[in-house]
Amino acid sequence: MPAFICATCGTHYPVTDMPPAGCTLCQDPRFGVNPAGQAWTTLPEMRQSHFTTFRRLEPGLMGVGVQPHFGFGQRALLLRTTHGNILWDCPAFLDDATTTIVNALGGVAAIALSSPIGYGAMVDWSHAFGSVPIYIHAADRKFVPRLDSAVVFWEDNAVEVLAGITLIRCGGQFDGASVLHWAPGASGQGVLMVGDTLRIHPDRQVGFMRSHANGIPLDTETVLRIGELMADLPFEVMYGGTWDRVIQHNARSVLARSVRRHVDAVGMPTML
């Protein structure tokens, strides 16, 4: 019996005879149930119409997406290292072809998640590669609809997933929202992977929102704290949660300018 998947956000739920009454994530005020109503699908249904796409983004880093567009259009990242591979955020889709390709790329040693938006088919992906650990910050435990022994609820403010690759809790849209720092990347420069925790806008500045869907900005205190947390991290490149949202150069400086822009726009005089 397959698990039900929310067609709006891509979150997978436990195996049940009937679909849940509603999606926990979509019912949260930061999002909203699809005006057309709650809809569900399953992996067997998706395998008739969807497929996985792969794109090399830089040495050691592959983008992993789903076509046609599904959920929020999230794109995961497969970070390949000599110590093992990390899947950053998780596609809502998985089939045998995907598993074969990922195994050829070295498999998956761990799954690290930015926020509930990136949970997708995390349990299916974990099991497909040997029940590898799924790192989720404990502050977001209530948003995990499908508990599994592979889920690692980490606490504190940072955890090293593999050598040189660190999950950092920054908060923001969610209490446990996190980013992944790779220092340095295979290209020799630090990389920051932010999912939708920090949204890269079309002008290649960074946005800080309590609700992207409903246009509610984060408070200035939180944004200033995020800026301070990132100020000393060495990174040149920043990858957002979708294919086209990437800052290729001077990403740390861009983030600092974006903090100032946000604080000025929201109304608190900036002291930066």
* pTM of the entire predicted model: 0.94
**Confidence at residue 188, expressed as pLDDT on a 0 to 100 scale:** 72
Report the percentage of the chain scoring pLDDT > 70: 97
Segment 213-238 shows an average pLDDT of 92
CATH architecture of 5-15+23-266: 4-Layer Sandwich (3.60)
Residue 186 confidence class, pLDDT cut points 50, 70, 90:
low
pLDDT, tens digit, for every residue of 38-54? 999 999 999 999 999 99
Highest mean pLDDT (candidates 49-58, 183-192, 202-211): 49-58
The yes-or-no verdict on residue 269 having pLDDT over 70 is no
Instruction: Give the Cα-Cα-Cα angle 174, 176, 180 (nearest 5 degrees).
Output: 110
**Confidence at residue 266, expressed as pLDDT on a 0 to 100 scale:** 87
pLDDT, tens digit, for every residue of 54-77? 999 999 999 999 999 998 888 999
| Range list of β-strands (E), the chain | 5-6, 40-41, 51-58, 61-67, 76-81, 84-88, 110-112, 134-137, 151-154, 158-162, 165-169, 178-182, 191-195, 199-200, 206-207, 209-211, 216-217, 237-240, 246-247
Nearest to 224 by CA among 179, 192, 269: 269
Question: How is the chain split into domains, by residue range?
Answer: 5-15+23-266
- 196 touches 119 (CB < 8 A): no
pLDDT, tens digit, for every residue of 123-173? 999 999 999 999 999 999 999 999 999 999 999 999 999 999 999 999 998
d(CA 174, CA 202): 23
